[in-house]
């Protein structure tokens, strides 16, 4: 289930509090500034810095 | 008790939580959602959504966001959301004491059995106030100590069990609300034994944070 647009608008990157965008596959939420991807596991975004994936 | 311990305890309890607590606490949850007096189109946050026992109570005309830190509880919750086709509900894994929502994101915020179960209730309260709109409703469903000697004695008996779940039994409502811009609109006792309080507050913040000036 893709994440709702309105919901995305109120969500912030846990690290910099900036905007986040869904990945093309819809398997995570990306903060370009921090180069971090917050995975979406089973429709549940994991909004924790400790569990974020570093992007190269 | 730290956040990681709370997460672990609840993940271990996820499978049996509904059997133990589902019925006992249902009455309170149902009341809590009713007390939110939701209008169509409103956005509600449930902090510490757990296995999602309250979710079926929310009207489908609202948008509900549930957050929890325990993966085990969230997995159970997701099952419930799918089974009951609760398409108005979104779930997120988040720390209630540092939520990743913008200020003033929700019309109402509900926390059932949360403030006595977290390492830092003050941080959680301030976060709830921050993400709730000014004038929005905040509902707390919780056990609050009230100084009654009979109840205090009963609390002592229940205390080792509560301790295991990370529940504090010594927190009063006045302590929780102290220094916040929350005004109590309504307070009632719920659940068997009437040990739990349902408290409806209005968020009277004006400056974008929950602190008193």
Range of the domain at B21: 3-203
Q: How far apart are the CA of A36 and the nearest CA of chain B, in angstroms? A: 15
Do residues A23 and A31 lie in contact, with contact meaning Cβ atoms separated by under 8 Å?
A: no
List, as ranges, residues 181-210 from B with C-beta within 8 Å of A.
none
Instruction: Give the mean model confidence (pLDDT) for residues B140-163.
Output: 69
Do residues B67 and B81 lie in contact, with contact meaning Cβ atoms separated by under 8 Å?
A: no
Q: What is the largest CA-CA distance in chain A?
A: 29
Phi, psi of B93 (to 5 degrees): -90, 120
Cross-chain CB nearest to A46 (options B90, B93, B105): B93
Range of the domain at A43: 5-54
Residue B121 to residue B119: CA distance in whole angstroms: 6
The two tokens of residue B145 are: 């100590």
Q: Cβ atoms within 10 A of the Cβ of B155, count?
A: 17
Do residues B108 and B138 lie in contact, with contact meaning Cβ atoms separated by under 8 Å?
A: yes
Do residues B78 and B92 lie in contact, with contact meaning Cβ atoms separated by under 8 Å?
A: no
Instruction: Classify the phi-psi angles of B50: left when phi > 0, otherwise alpha if psi is within -120 to 50, otherwise beta.
Output: left
**Domain annotation covers residue B59:** yes
List Cβ neighbours of B180 (8 Å cut-off, separation of 6 or more): B125, B126, B129, B210, B211, B212
A7 reaches B (C-beta below 8 A): yes
Number of folded domains in chain A?
1
Contact call for A47 and B93, based on CB within 8 A: yes
Contact call for A7 and B65, based on CB within 8 A: yes
- Per residue in A4-19, pLDDT tens? 888 999 999 999 999 9
**Domain annotation covers residue B210:** no
Cross-chain CB nearest to A10 (options B94, B95, B101): B101
pLDDT at B213: 38
Asked if pLDDT for residue B203 goes beyond 90, the answer is yes
Instruction: Give the mean model confidence (pLDDT) for residues A1-6.
Output: 78
- Per residue in B56-80, pLDDT tens? 999 999 999 999 999 999 999 999 9
**Domain annotation covers residue B138:** yes
Do residues B121 and B115 lie in contact, with contact meaning Cβ atoms separated by under 8 Å?
A: yes
CATH of the domain at B85: 3.40.50.150
pLDDT at B210: 43
CATH of the domain at A27: 2.20.25.10
**Domain annotation covers residue B213:** no
B62 reaches A (C-beta below 8 A): no
pTM of this prediction? Answer: 0.84
Instruction: Classify the phi-psi angles of B120: left when phi > 0, otherwise alpha if psi is within -120 to 50, otherwise beta.
Output: beta
A50 reaches B (C-beta below 8 A): no
Alpha helix segments (H runs only) across B36-97? 71-83
List Cβ neighbours of B42 (8 Å cut-off, separation of 6 or more): B62, B63, B107, B108
Q: Cβ atoms within 10 A of the Cβ of B83, count?
A: 9
**Domain annotation covers residue B208:** no
Nearest CA in chain A to B44: A7
Number of folded domains in chain B?
1
**Domain annotation covers residue B57:** yes
Give the number of residues written for chain B: 213
A13 reaches B (C-beta below 8 A): yes
């Amino acid at each position: 289930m893709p994440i709702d647009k309105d919901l995305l608008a109120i969500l912030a990157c846990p690290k910099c509090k900036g905007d986040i965008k869904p990945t093309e596959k819809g398997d995570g939420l990306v903060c370009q500034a921090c180069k971090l991807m917050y995975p979406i596991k089973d429709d549940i975004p994991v909004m924790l810095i400790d569990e974020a994936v570093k992007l190269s | 008790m730290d956040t990681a311990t709370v997460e672990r305890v609840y993940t271990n309890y996820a499978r049996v939580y509904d059997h133990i607590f589902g019925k006992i606490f249902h009455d309170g949850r149902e009341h809590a959602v009713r007390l939110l007096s939701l209008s169509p189109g409103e956005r509600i946050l449930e902090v510490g959504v757990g296995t999602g026992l309250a979710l079926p109570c929310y009207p489908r005309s609202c948008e509900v966001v549930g957050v929890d830190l325990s993966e085990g509880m969230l997995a159970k919750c997701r099952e419930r959301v799918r089974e009951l086709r609760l398409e108005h509900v979104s779930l997120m894994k988040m720390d209630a004491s540092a939520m990743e929502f913008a200020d003033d994101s929700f019309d109402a915020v509900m926390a059932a059995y949360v403030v006595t179960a977290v390492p830092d209730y003050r941080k959680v309260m301030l976060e709830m106030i921050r993400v709730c709109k000014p004038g929005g409703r905040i509902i707390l469903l919780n056990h609050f100590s009230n100084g009654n000697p009979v109840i205090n004695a009963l609390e002592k008996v229940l205390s080792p069990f509560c301790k295991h779940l990370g529940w504090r039994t010594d927190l009063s409502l006045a302590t929780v609300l102290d220094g916040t811009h929350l005004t109590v609109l309504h307070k009632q006792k719920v659940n068997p034994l009437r040990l739990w309080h349902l408290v409806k507050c209005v968020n009277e913040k004006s400056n974008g944070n929950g602190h008193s000036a």
